[in-house]
């Protein structure tokens, strides 16, 4: 099982790396969005309070761009049905979700320092804890995002349907991420953000387990 999952993840990562324009496009979007917001927002101290929100808004839009092409190789080659016979739909879902987590964390590793640099933002809390929170949020985003991407991949207006269906489901994750980030990066005690972390963890579990169970039926349809 784990060997099959490892091979699938490696296949998906190689496929993404071959399509350099996809990762490059997401990184370019992050750069442009950060620059636009940096020039558009007034140079005031209050803006620094918005930085955690800016981080996650940019991440959500950048991640959605990446999800639009999550099932493009399988769609173009018509091999999704064959893969499900070989390894099972649940394994394909886990592979896509974990691959997406890796790619999004790579984008975040570029996004966070860039935003902090351009907005002259100096976090007062632990960056290690912030990185752990980012992994939690990214896991939930990738899990539900991959499921919705699969659901819309064979529709005519997939680029439009994906954000329409995905964004409402991301509301609790984004709210939790922003609340945790504001408290954490401003050096507030754990009691201020631990409840939000539990909320994010609960939605991570829901967004991982439910799509994994339903992916079999989705592929059959």
Q: What is the pLDDT of residues 178-217, one digit of tens each?
A: 999 988 888 888 888 999 999 999 999 999 999 998 888 7
Confidence at residue 122, expressed as pLDDT on a 0 to 100 scale: 84
Residue among 193, 165, 171 at smallest CA distance from 181: 193
Q: Is the per-residue pLDDT at 141 higher than 90?
A: yes
- Our count of domains for the chain comes to 1
When pLDDT is averaged across residues 92-121 and rounded to a whole number, the result is 87
Average pLDDT for the chain: 83
Distance CA 97, CA 21 (A): 20
CA 51 – CA 71 distance, rounded (Å): 32
Single pTM value for the model: 0.88
If one counts every other C-beta atom within 10 angstroms of the C-beta of residue 48, the result is: 16
pLDDT digits (tens, 9 = 90+) for 53-106: 888 999 999 999 888 877 766 665 555 655 665 667 778 888 888 888 988 898
CA dihedral 115, 121, 125, 127 (to 10 degrees): 30
3 pLDDT more than 80:
no
Confidence of residue 171 (pLDDT cuts 50, 70, 90): very high
Residues 6+ apart with CB under 8 A from 25: 65
Any residues with CB less than 8 A from the CB of 172 and at least 6 apart, and which? 199, 200, 203
Q: Which residue has the higher pLDDT, 85 or 139?
A: 139
Q: What are phi and psi of 169, to 5 degrees?
A: -75, -20
Sign (positive or negative) of CA dihedral 1, 208, 14, 114: negative
The pLDDT value given to residue 7: 75
* Residue 187 falls in which region: left (phi positive, over 0), alpha (psi -120 to 50) or beta: left
pLDDT higher for 41 or 113? 113
Tell me the mean pLDDT in the region 136-163.
88
> Is pLDDT at 44 greater than 70 in this prediction?
no
Can you tell me which residue has the tokens 């994994």?
Answer: 212
pLDDT for 47: 67
- Give the structural domain span for 107: 2-220
pLDDT at 107 over 80: yes
- C-alpha to C-alpha distance for 39 and 124, rounded to whole angstroms: 24
pLDDT at res. 85: 56
Handedness of CA 169, 15, 94, 184 (dihedral sign): negative
Residues 103, 142 contacting (CB under 8 angstroms): no
Tell me the average pLDDT across 30-57.
81
Give how far Cα 30 sits from Cα of 43, 56, 91, 179, Å.
20, 11, 30, 22
């Amino acid at each position: 099982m784990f060997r099959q999952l490892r091979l699938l993840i490696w296949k998906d990562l190689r496929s993404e790396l071959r399509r350099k324009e996809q990762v490059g496009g997401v990184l370019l979007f992050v750069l442009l969005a950060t620059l636009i917001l940096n020039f558009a927002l007034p140079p005031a101290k209050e803006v620094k309070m918005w930085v955690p929100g800016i981080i996650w808004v940019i991440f959500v839009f950048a991640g959605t761009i990446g999800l639009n092409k999550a099932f493009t190789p399988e769609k173009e080659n018509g091999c999704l049905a064959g893969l499900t016979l070989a390894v099972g739909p649940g394994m394909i879902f886990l592979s896509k979700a974990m691959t997406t987590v890796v790619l999004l964390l790579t984008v975040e590793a570029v996004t966070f320092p860039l935003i902090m640099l351009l907005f002259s933002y100096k976090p007062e809390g632990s960056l290690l804890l912030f990185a752990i929170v980012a992994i939690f949020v990214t896991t939930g985003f990738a899990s539900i995002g991959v499921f919705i991407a699969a659901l819309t991949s064979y529709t005519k207006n997939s680029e439009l349907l994906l954000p329409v269906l995905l964004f409402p489901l991301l509301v609790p994750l984004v709210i939790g991420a922003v609340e945790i980030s504001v408290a954490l990066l401003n050096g507030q005690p754990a009691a201020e953000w631990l409840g939000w972390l539990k909320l994010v963890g609960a939605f991570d579990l829901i967004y991982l387990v439910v799509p994994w169970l339903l992916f079999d039926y989705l592929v059959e349809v």
